[in-house]
Structure 1
Amino acid sequence: MDGDNLHHAPNRRGTAFAPEALARMLSVSTATLAQGRGIALDVSVLSGTPPRLVGDAETAGALCNALTASAIANAGPGRLDVRLSALPAGDERVTLRTELTGRFDSHGEAGFGQELARRLLAALGAQMTVEHHADGMRRAVLDMPVALPSRATDAERLMNWARARGGRLLVVDDSATNRMVVAGLLAKAGFSVETANGGAEAVEAVAQAPVPPEAVLMDVAMPDMDGVTATATIRRLGDGRGRIPIIAVTANAQPEDRIRCLSAGMNDYLTKPVRRADLLGALERWLAPQPA
C-alpha cells in the first residue's frame, strides 16, 4: 500500500456524492492495472444502497482506489470482487463499506491491515479488517463514516442549485409524452430545454447547433437510432462536443442494460419513471460549474 496516497488524501467534509459514481470511478481507474495482471475485476454497488451520501467524498474515493489498487498489485490472475454498500449507524449516519474478496497477499496484518487502518482512522475515522480463509481467499473490509442527506433539505438544495446554475439541455425520447414530462420537470427547475424525437435527431442537434447543449438526457430504446448508437456517434464528434455529458433515462432496468449504456460512453443511468430529484442529482454530478 502506498502510504503517500493516504497521507495526501484530500480532507473535504460534507460533500454530496453518489456511490454509483464512486464505483464507476473505481472501476475505470483500476481497469488497466487489473487487466495487466490478468484479473477479472468486478466493481458494483449492492442493492438497497442509498443513491446519495454526504461525507468526505474525495478522500473516500482516494482510499477506495488505494485499497483496490493494492489488492490488485498483490494478486495473481483470477477474480477480484469489489462491493460498495451503506450500513445504518444511527440517526442520519451510515457507514460506507468497501468490501474486496479474492486471492491477494495482504503482507500480514502490519502491512495491509493495521498500518492502513491506523492511517484511515487518523484521516477519516475509518476502520479496516482483513479476513484470511482456509481456501486462500481473503476479504478486506473498509468502513468509512458518512451521512444520509435529509430528503427535504436535499430536494430543496438541488432546486436552488438548478435555478442558480441554469443551462441548456437536450431531452431525447421517441415518446412525445415522455419528452413533455422530462422537459417539464427540468424547465420548472430553471433549465432551458430542447427536445429530439430520436437518436438521429439528437446527433444532429449536438453536431450542428452553433452552441451545443450542455448535457443530453437520452432514451435508449428508440426505433430510428437507439440511444446507445446515438451516444457512440456523439462520442466521436470533435470540438469538445464528444465530451458532452449524456445521461440515460430508460425503462430498461436490468444490470446488463446499465453496463451496455455505460460501455457506450454514457455518463449516468436513470430508470423511468424518473423523479425530478434524480434528474437534478445526475445533472449536478456531471455539469461543470458556471464560470463566475
Structure 2
Amino acid sequence: MTKLRLHRDQLAAVARVTPYAMAGYGVNVALAAAAFWNTFPAHHLFLWLLFSFSVCGFLGLRSWPRAPSRRRHKANTTRSARNALVFAVLLALPWSFLAAAWAGAVSGTSEAILTAFVVGMAASGSILLAPIPAAALTYAGTILGPLILKLLILGGRENFVLCALAVSFLVFLVVLVMTNARMFMERLKVLDRLKVSIADAKAANEAAQRATSAKSEFFATMSHEIRTPLNSVIGYTSLVLARRGLNTEDARDLEIVRDAGRSLLNTVNDILDFSAIEAGRMKLLLAPTLLRPIIESCLSLILVDARAKGLILSAEIDSALDEVSVSADAQRVRQVLVNLVGNAVKFTSVGRVDVQAKWVKRSDDDVVVRFVVKDTGPGIPEKSIPELFNRFSQLDGSYERRFAGSGLGLAISKSIVVAMDGQIGVDSVLGEGSAFWFELPLAVSRSQPSTERSADSKPAGPGGLNVLVVDDMEPNRRLTSTVLRRAGHRAVTAASGAEAILLVQSETFDVILMDMQMPGMNGLAATKEIRKLPPNQSQVPIIAMTANVLPNEIASCYAAGMTAHIGKPFEIDVLLHAIEAVCDGSGISTRHRVPVASSGGRNPF
C-alpha cells in the first residue's frame, strides 16, 4: 500500500503541472515551425505541426484537474503509470523525428537552432517527468537516441564530437533525473511520515480528551456519591449537637464525627478544585467587593480552632480598605485566606497568628492589595520552600509542620492567585515562624458591593415560609425538613420531580429546594416543567440543593431556570441564608440569579 501510494503521489505531482507544460510545449512547437519555415519542406513541417499539436493538446486536456474517483483506485493508478510511459514516447516522437530527419541535412545557424531545440526539449521534458523516472528516461532516450545514431551514421570528426556531447548530455540527464527522483521520493516519504505523525497526534489528542472526559465524569460521580452520605453525617450530627441537655462526652464525640465529615468534605472540595484548575475550567466571578468583610469572615471561621489551641488570632486591616470597593471574586479571595490562616493555626502550637491587609499601590482605576499571614510556628526549612506550592506537596514530618490532608491547598491557592494576575510566596525562619503573603492587582469598582454576612451569623430570615423539599432520599428529606421546621418554616416533601410538579399545581410555595439526581423525572426536567406553568406558579424561586457541584453541573441548573445553588453537604446557616436571599427579592426572576455558596463558604465556581 505504501508503494502504491508513492506511485499515486508521483503521478499526481506530474499531473498538476502537465497542463501548463503542454502550453509551453505548444509554444516551442510554434517557435520551431517559425524558425524552420523556409528550411524544411512545407508539407513535412505541416504534418509535424499537426502531430505535435495533437499530442500536446490531447495530453493537456486529459491531465486537466478534475475530481478524483475513489472507485478502482488501485487499477487506475497502475494504468496511469503505464500510460505515463506511452505519453512520454508520444511527446518525444516529434522532436526525435526532427533530430533524426534533419540532423546533418542543415548547416550553420539552422543546425545550431535544431540542436538547441532538441537538447532543450530533452532537458525540460526530463525535468518535468523526473517524479516518474521511467517516463523521464524514456522521454530523454527517445529524443536523443535517434540523434546519437544519426550522428554516428553520418560519421566525420565534427559529427563524432556532437555525438559524444549528446551522449554525455544524456548521461547527465540520467544522473539528474535519478537524483531528482530520489529527492522526490524522500520528500514523499517524509510527508508520509508527517501525515502518520499528525494522525497519531490527533488520535492521541482524542484519546486524551476521552480520558479527560472520563476523569471529569469519574470526579463528578465520586463527588456525588461521597457528598450524599456526608450530607447525613454532617447534617444530623449538627442537629443533635443543637439539642439541649447533651452531656459533655456525647457532645465531644459528635463534634469529632462532624469535624471528620467536614475534613473529608474539604478534601473532596480540594480535589474538585484542582481538577477544574488542571482542565482550565476555573472561572472567576468578579463583583463589587469590600475586602474587610472577607477578612473578618475568615477569622470568624477559624477563631474557634485558634482559641481551642490557646492561640491569639488578630487582624490588622488598613482603614483605606473600607474606602474603595474593588472588582474581585470574593469567594476565591476568601478561599485563599481561609487556607493560609487555617494552615497557620493548624501548625502553630504556641503564640499567635496575625493577618495583615493593606494597599501596596493605588490609583483612580486600580489597586494592589497585599495580604500577609504571620505565625509563630516552627518555620519551614529553606530547601523545602521551592516545593511548597506544588501539588501534593507536604513538608517532612520531622519539622513538626506536616501539611496533612490532600496536599493541594497551597497549590490551589497559588493557581487562584495566578489566575487573578497576582503573586504568592512565603518568608520563613526555622524555629521562629513563617509569613505567607499574596498580592492581588484589582480594579476599582464604581458600583456598591452587596452586604457580606458571616456564615456563623444567625439569619434574620422571614418566618413561616412554605417550603417544598424535593429529594428522592428519605434521610435527606427528613434532615432538611427538620432544619426548616426548627427555623420556623413549614416543610412539604416530594420524592420525585413528577410529584413536585403536582404539588406546585395544587399548593402555593414560597421557595422550592430541588435535588438533581432522582429516578424518573430529575430536578432539571422538573424545573423546566415548573417554569412552563402559569405565572402565579412558575415564578416560585427554585434552589438547587444537590451533591452535583462541578461548574458545568451548576451551569446546567441555572440554564434550566433555577434561582440559586447550594451544594451538599449543606451548612444549616448557609441553607437558611439562601432561602432568605431568594425570598427577600420577592418577584425575583430567573434572570436575576443569586450566587449562593456551597457548604463551608466555598463557591464551586
Q: Report the TM-score, using the length of structure 1 for normalisation.
A: 0.51
> What amino acid sits opposite 1:141 in the alignment?
L
> What does residue range 262-281 of structure 1 map to in structure 2 within 5 Å?
262-281=558-577
Residue among 513, 534, 538 paired with 1:242: 538
Residues 218/147 of structure 1: CA separation in 2 closer, same or farther (3 Å cut): closer
How far did 1:176 drift?
1.2
Residues 146/93 of structure 1: CA separation in 2 closer, same or farther (3 Å cut): farther
Correspondence for 1:44: 284
> What amino acid sits opposite 2:496 in the alignment?
G
> What amino acid sits opposite 1:181 in the alignment?
L
Residues 150/221 of structure 1: CA separation in 2 closer, same or farther (3 Å cut): closer
> What amino acid sits opposite 2:516 in the alignment?
V
Whole-angstrom CA distance in 1 between matches of 2:542 and 2:355: 32
The answer to whether structure 1 residue 189 and structure 2 residue 437 are counterparts is no
For 1:86-117, what per-residue CA distance to the aligned partner results, in whole angstroms no more than 9, with x for missing partners? 4659989979xxxxxxxxxxxxxxxxx95545
* Residues 92 and 147, structure 1, Cα contact 8 Å, conserved in 2: no
For 1:25-71, what per-residue CA distance to the aligned partner results, in whole angstroms no more than 9, with x for missing partners? xxxxxxxxxxxxxxxxx95349xxx9x9599xxx96xx75xx9xxxx
Residues 289/266 of structure 1: CA separation in 2 closer, same or farther (3 Å cut): closer
How far did 1:249 drift?
1.1
Larger Rg: 2
Q: 5+ residue gaps in structure 1?
A: 1-41, 68-80, 96-112, 119-130, 132-138
The answer to whether structure 1 residue 221 and structure 2 residue 555 are counterparts is no
Residue among 175, 179, 186 paired with 2:477: 179
* Residues 94 and 147, structure 1, Cα contact 8 Å, conserved in 2: no
**Structure 1 or 2: larger strand share?**
1
* Residues 217 and 249, structure 1, Cα contact 8 Å, conserved in 2: yes
Correspondence for 1:254: 550
Whole-angstrom CA distance in 1 between matches of 2:481 and 2:516: 17
Residues 249/150 of structure 1: CA separation in 2 closer, same or farther (3 Å cut): closer
Residue among 496, 502, 505 paired with 1:204: 502
Q: 3-state SS of the aligned residue for 1:170?
A: strand
Residues 250/141 of structure 1: CA separation in 2 closer, same or farther (3 Å cut): same
* Residues 173 and 198, structure 1, Cα contact 8 Å, conserved in 2: yes
Correspondence for 1:31: none
Correspondence for 2:432: none
Whole-angstrom CA distance in 2 between matches of 1:226 and 1:201: 11
Residues 231/143 of structure 1: CA separation in 2 closer, same or farther (3 Å cut): same
Q: 3-state SS of the aligned residue for 2:333?
A: strand
Whole-angstrom CA distance in 2 between matches of 1:93 and 1:193: 44
Q: Which runs of 4+ in 1 moved over 6 A?
A: 89-95, 144-148
**Larger relative contact order (C-alpha < 8 A, sep ≥ 6)?**
1
How far did 1:247 drift?
0.6
> What amino acid sits opposite 1:263 in the alignment?
A
Q: 3-state SS of the aligned residue for 2:538?
A: helix
Residue among 132, 141, 146 paired with 2:442: 141
* Residues 170 and 193, structure 1, Cα contact 8 Å, conserved in 2: yes
Residues 85/193 of structure 1: CA separation in 2 closer, same or farther (3 Å cut): same
Residues 173/147 of structure 1: CA separation in 2 closer, same or farther (3 Å cut): closer
Correspondence for 2:270: none
Correspondence for 2:579: 283
Residues 268/147 of structure 1: CA separation in 2 closer, same or farther (3 Å cut): closer
Correspondence for 1:85: 333
Residues 146/85 of structure 1: CA separation in 2 closer, same or farther (3 Å cut): farther
* Residues 366 and 444, structure 2, Cα contact 8 Å, conserved in 1: no
RMSD of aligned C-alpha atoms?
4.6
Identity among equivalent pairs (%) = 29
How far did 1:276 drift?
1.2
Whole-angstrom CA distance in 2 between matches of 1:92 and 1:267: 36
* Residues 94 and 146, structure 1, Cα contact 8 Å, conserved in 2: no
Q: 5+ residue gaps in structure 2?
A: 1-281, 298-323, 342-352, 368-420, 422-439, 587-605
Q: 3-state SS of the aligned residue for 1:287?
A: helix
Whole-angstrom CA distance in 1 between matches of 2:450 and 2:537: 36
Whole-angstrom CA distance in 1 between matches of 2:442 and 2:550: 27
Q: Higher mean Cα deviation, 245-254 or 214-223? A: 245-254
Residues 190/147 of structure 1: CA separation in 2 closer, same or farther (3 Å cut): closer
> What amino acid sits opposite 2:531 in the alignment?
R
Residues 93/232 of structure 1: CA separation in 2 closer, same or farther (3 Å cut): farther
